[in-house]
């Protein structure tokens, strides 16, 4: 039994390494390869990994947590609050533009208002995990548009912290009081963790600091996973909890923590993308493929417009606007969770394959589009210069 488990885990990790090498050879992100590999070896695929399923699920969760934690290390708490304030108009535009297609599709298909609320969430939120990975792979984390993208991602995650309790109450048919209590707990949790990051970040740094790299690694990793787990139990996104731990650390300590955790982040992040594919039955995608393609095409346009407008408001140049729009394209972890909640509650069984097909298309197209965003922007800029000279 244990031998089979080790064989499956070893085969998965080795396959990820080979796929990453293949992607590197063609100078593209490995994320689409990871997703397609998951489709091939998951439900309805050519081979199913049964023994290693629990490892993959736990590893995928840790992958998302580490992705958001390392993203949080890039900025201080003061920078976060400032960007959130400046991003509020763009964040509200993001909410309206990108939830509208999902709401419209659910109502047109006759699924009802509760399904419309769920589908609005499916099409709204960007995959923080995929976006963080893409930006890291392309070397964008130090770019001027990164705070703009980051503030929108945080705005979305905080919106999810409000949205998920409301959706859960609607799906359960809970009354106003029960829904309000759940929402109040989520809001209080976010406030407490953010307050600790803002006011007591130095205390957190002193707690985890150590001259021993081994001790520092264990403390940082343990604290991050612990806070993420507590946040998830309190109906707040685990990603938000991990991100806030990241912003609580700064200076040389943040730099050291990033260097130590990057290899672990890359390993478990790859497992997350494989898990997404593993949970999707390829056969169930075909009947809803037409609607998914239309929805994905709309979602790509609305997300690109969101990033472009946000970067424009920040006074950034053409290339930065294109990169910001491209970085926001992928959907992933939250979208599947929302659809799963709705289907489990008996809303509509067709929502699962529709959401899976939609997310798969955008998750594959998003990283590829991000790769071509900067060359496209340079080409457009070069083409426009002659006309400007003539005028």
Predicted pLDDT of residue 47: 64
- Cα–Cα distance, 239 to 128 (Å, whole number): 8
**Looking at residue 292, what is its pLDDT?**
92
Least confident of 196-205, 282-291, 362-371: 196-205
386 has pLDDT over 60: no
- Contact assessment for residue 334 and residue 125, using Cβ atoms and an 8 Å cutoff: yes
- pLDDT value at position 25? 78
pLDDT at 174: 52
- State the chain's mean pLDDT as an integer: 80
Residues 236-262: pLDDT tens digits? 667 777 877 887 787 788 888 888 888
Q: Where do the structural domains in the chain lie, given as residue ranges?
A: 57-371
Instruction: List the one residue out of 342, 334, 150 whose CA is nearest residue 236.
Output: 334
Q: Is 237 helix (H, G, I), strand (E, B) or coil?
A: coil
Per-residue model confidence as pLDDT tens digits over 86-117: 778 889 999 999 999 999 999 999 998 889 99
- Give the residue, 70 or 387, on which the prediction is more confident: 70
Outline where the chain has alpha helix (H): 2-25, 31-41, 53-72, 77-108, 113-124, 128-137, 146-172, 176-199, 201-208, 213-233, 238-248, 251-278, 289-313, 318-327, 333-344, 351-390
pLDDT given for residue 235 in this prediction = 65
Burial of 110: CB neighbours in 10 Å, binned 0-12, 13-18, 19+: exposed
Q: pLDDT tens digit string along 153-173? A: 878 877 776 777 677 777 776
Q: Which residue has the higher pLDDT, 247 or 29?
A: 247
Instruction: With a cut of 60, say whether residue 176 has pLDDT above it.
Output: no
- The average pLDDT across 31-60 equals 74
Question: What's the Cα-to-Cα distance from 246 to each of 31, 87, 332, rounded to whole Å?
Answer: 23, 20, 21
pLDDT at 391: 37
Instruction: Give the per-residue pLDDT at 306.
Output: 94
Residues 258-307 pLDDT 10s: 888 888 888 888 888 787 777 767 777 888 889 999 999 999 999 999 99
State yes or no: pLDDT of 390 exceeds 70. no
For residue 389, is pLDDT > 60?
A: no
Specify the pLDDT at position 307. 93
Tell which wins on pLDDT, 152 or 141: 152
- Which of 37-51, 105-119, 333-347 has the weakest average pLDDT? 37-51
What is the predicted pLDDT for the residue at 180?
65
Q: How confident is the model at residue 338 (pLDDT cuts 50, 70, 90)?
A: confident
pLDDT given at position 80: 64
Average pLDDT over residues 367-380: 76
pLDDT of residue 197: 66
Place of tokens 């529709």: 354
DSSP string, 126-145: --HHHHHHHHHHTT-TTSTT
Q: What is the average pLDDT across 330-334?
A: 75
pLDDT confidence of residue 284: 77
Residue 333 pLDDT: 65
Yes or no: say if 82 and 255 are a contact pair by the CB < 8 Å rule: no
Q: 3 vs 324, which has greater pLDDT?
A: 324
Residue 388 has pLDDT above 70, yes or no: no
Give the per-residue pLDDT at 141.
78
Please give the CATH architecture assigned to the domain spanning 57-371: Up-down Bundle (1.20)
Which pLDDT belongs to residue 48? 67
pLDDT of residue 248: 78
Query: Can you give the pLDDT at residue 63?
Result: 84
Q: Which of 179, 138, 137, 123 is nearest to 298 (CA)?
A: 123
Claim: this prediction has a pTM higher than 0.85: no
Note the pLDDT tens digit of each residue in 202-230.
777 788 888 888 898 999 999 989 988 88
């Amino acid at each position: 039994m244990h031998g089979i488990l080790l064989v499956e885990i070893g085969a998965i990790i080795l396959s990820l390494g080979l796929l990453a090498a293949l992607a590197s050879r063609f100078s593209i992100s490995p994320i689409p390869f990871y997703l397609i590999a998951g489709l091939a070896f998951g439900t309805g695929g050519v081979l199913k990994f049964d023994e290693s399923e629990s490892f993959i699920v736990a590893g995928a969760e840790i992958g998302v947590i580490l992705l958001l934690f390392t993203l949080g290390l890039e900025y201080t708490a003061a920078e976060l609050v400032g960007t959130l304030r400046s991003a509020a108009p763009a964040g509200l535009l993001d909410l309206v533009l990108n939830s509208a297609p999902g709401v419209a599709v659910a109502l047109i298909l006759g699924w009802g208002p509760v399904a419309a609320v769920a589908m609005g969430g499916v099409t709204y939120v960007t995959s923080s995990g995929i976006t963080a990975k893409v930006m890291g792979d392309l070397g964008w984390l130090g770019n001027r548009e990164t705070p703009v993208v980051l503030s929108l991602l945080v705005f979305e995650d905080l919106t999810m912290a409000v949205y998920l309790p409301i959706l859960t109450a609607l799906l359960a048919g809970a009354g106003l009081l029960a829904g309000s209590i759940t929402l109040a707990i989520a809001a209080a949790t976010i406030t407490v963790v953010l307050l600790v990051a803002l006011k007591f970040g130095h205390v957190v740094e002193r707690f985890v600091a150590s001259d021993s790299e081994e001790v520092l690694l264990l403390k940082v990793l343990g604290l991050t996973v612990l806070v993420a787990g507590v946040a998830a139990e309190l109906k707040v996104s685990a990603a938000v909890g991990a991100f806030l731990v990241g912003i609580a650390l700064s200076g040389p300590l943040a730099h050291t923590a990033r260097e130590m955790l990057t290899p672990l982040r890359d390993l478990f992040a790859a497992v997350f993308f494989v898990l997404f594919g593993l949970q999707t039955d390829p056969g169930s995608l075909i009947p809803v493929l037409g609607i998914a393609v239309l929805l994905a095409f709309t979602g790509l346009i609305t997300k690109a417009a969101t990033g472009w407008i946000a970067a424009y408001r920040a006074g950034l140049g053409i290339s930065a606007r294109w990169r910001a729009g491209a970085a926001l394209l992928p959907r992933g972890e939250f979208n599947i969770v929302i659809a799963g909640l709705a289907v489990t509650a008996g809303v509509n069984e067709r929502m699962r394959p529709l959401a899976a097909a939609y997310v798969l298309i955008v998750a594959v197209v998003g990283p590829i589009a991000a790769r071509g965003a900067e060359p496209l922007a340079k080409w457009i800029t070069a083409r426009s210069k002659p006309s400007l000279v003539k005028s």
